[in-house]
Amino acid sequence: MPLFQFIGATIGASVVVTIASLVWPKVTSQPRPEALTRVRDVVMQTQMGQGLAETLGVSDEEGVTPVNISDIVTTGTNAAIDTVTKSAQRAVTSRLLESLGTQFNTLPEEEKATFRAQICTPPAE
């Protein structure tokens, strides 16, 4: 079992280093470290490496601009806040309607009729 774990860890590390060597210009404007440059050179000599670079959008490094991580985080945070806000609004509205329904059902029939008349009467023109 330890041998399989070692092989799995080695393969996983190789994949991470390969992808890091390819996406480096998208992540930062700093120069790529020498070790990653060598890995990229080897990877780009393979058909699979060229296909991966195409998929990641880094086959032509001249046209690659670094992604602004803070913009991505801000956009993600704002989307999460919007989702939570809408969910909270739905929950509050649902609870409010449940409460109103319960209160309405406890009213005497006379008051229910008055209430229905007030709500259901069409507006005067």
Distance, in Å, from the CA atom of 84 to the CA atom of 77, rounded to the nearest integer, reads 11
Residue 118: band (very low, low, confident or very high) from pLDDT cuts 50, 70, 90? confident
Confidence label for 26 from pLDDT (cuts 50, 70 and 90)? confident
Whole-number pLDDT of residue 65: 65
pLDDT at 63: 67
- 53 and 7 fall within a common domain: yes
Please determine, for residue 31, whether its predicted confidence score (pLDDT) is greater than 90: no
- Could you tell me if 47 and 86 lie in one domain? no
Structure token pair of residue 115:
């209430």
Q: Check whether residue 59 and residue 6 sit in a common domain.
A: yes
Mean pLDDT of 60-78: 74
Does one domain contain both 20 and 44?
yes
Whether pLDDT at 62 is above 80: no
State mean pLDDT over 46-56: 86
Clarify whether residues 110 and 85 are in a common domain. yes
- Count the domains in the chain: 2
Q: pLDDT at position 68, please? A: 67
Residue 29 lies in a domain: yes
Lowest mean pLDDT among 40-44, 65-69, 99-103, 113-117: 65-69
Confidence of residue 94 (pLDDT cuts 50, 70, 90): very high
Domain hosting 86: range is 69-120
Confidence check: pLDDT of 89 > 90: yes
Between the alpha carbon of residue 38 and those of residues 3, 17, 22, 32, 72, the distances in Å are 28, 11, 11, 10, 30
Boundary of a domain, candidates 22, 42, 63: 63
